[in-house]
Structure 1
């Protein structure tokens, strides 16, 4: 049998098919045999490109995170707004593939973000932020962003829906009042949360006790 000059599938085509399947049917319906069937190849063909399901899922996670646009460096030195926009871009990238969010939790692709973290640290340095604060800003933003996004997904409010679902005015009067007084959508709350974290880090750094 003559081998085809061009491979029937590539790593990129397998990753793309996997993301499409997860987006459409959810992670619970995902399987290598289903991906192979969609690509019209045998399941064994996938193992020429990936050693197992976990390796493929790790690449899916990386591809999703690569979909977030990194803004141009701030020309005016406003590094906080730059980080807010970066966080919003990652939020958007994850929400585009909401069914794959749990993959990101399990296989958080920090290695694919290393160059982005380098750019972040350089921007902080160029804007005069002390190196001692870089890690808490980068690590804290990552954790805070993921926790906020996944919380929204868990409450079925990835879009601008209910902040706290199933709140009853009679049983939860104080919380109901707080919700009715809240002027922000879910997206706006995310922005406020990111800004508050960054402002808190900078405010805390001004007090010597914060370092003890």
Structure 2
């Protein structure tokens, strides 16, 4: 499709309009014609800035992640607490745009966050984390934050505080007792999960797994 001779809109305005549509109307309502209507331009005008829907969605994903504040770090900062705070900020950024959460799964390229990953790796190095465990932590934290937050968003009804819904204490007595004993909110459970993951990975530093036992574990 040919592009108009003069741009009528900006990339940032298009991304902002896209997020507004997704936030208020949901992903099903999103399309290039719908965005063009929101901006009061023709659909062809969007092609000045975006080759196709995928490129626009990638920019939307990038914009959403800029809402995740990277905490300040200085000498003496507890690196575990720093990563807990970063993970919480990542979670909060997703929760601010619940309808757009799946955009991050499909369209967020990791290369746009390489600078942040580099900073994280330096903090891990400063904290004495062995180099062979740093990618395990960086990869795992991102996946945990995204997966657990999506799980929270997909509860029915949306926003429900029930961890496991429809538990019958007669049919599921052990689970019912566990739920009754749980005193943590979903946010607190998220923090516990992050801390548990970090503690588990750090345990590998003191009890390293041999290549042979790792192959046995993976079944290869």
TM-score by length of 1: 0.92
Deviates more, 1:201-210 or 1:85-94: 201-210
Inter-CA distance 104–157: structure 2 relative to 1 (3 Å threshold): farther
**Conservation of the 8 A alpha-carbon contact between 1:160 and 1:186:** no
Q: How does 1:1-212 map to 2 (within 5 A)?
A: 7-156=7-156, 159=159, 161-209=161-209, 212=214
Q: How far is 1:49 from its partner?
A: 0.9
Give per-residue Cα distances to partners, 1:140-193, cap 9 Å, x unaligned: 111111111111112147757111122222332221111111010000000000
**Pair 163,150 (structure 1): closer, same or farther in 2 beyond 3 Å:** same
Indicate if the aligned counterparts of 1:23 and 1:100 stay in contact, CA closer than 8 A.
Answer: yes
CA distance in 2: counterparts of 1:57 and 1:203, whole angstroms: 39
Aligned residues: 207
| Cα 1:158–1:87 shift into 2, 3 Å | farther
CA contact (8 A) 1:157 1:163 kept: no
> How far 1:47 moved relative to its partner?
1.2
Label 1:186 to 1:52 Cα distance change in 2 as closer, same or farther (>3 A): same
Query: TM-score, normalized by length of structure 2?
Result: 0.88
**1:159–1:80 CA distance, 2 compared to 1 (3 A):** farther
Shift of 1:67: 1.0
Give, in whole Å, the separation in 2 of the partners of 1:100 and 1:10: 21
Structure 1 gaps of 5+ residues are: 1-5
| Higher deviation after alignment, 38-47 or 107-116 | 107-116
SS at match of 1:111: helix
RMSD between superposed Cα atoms in Å: 1.7
In structure 2, stretches of 5+ residues that fail to align are: 1-5, 215-220
Instruction: Give the direction of change, closer, same or farther, for the CA distance of 1:111–1:26 in structure 2 (3 Å limit).
Output: same
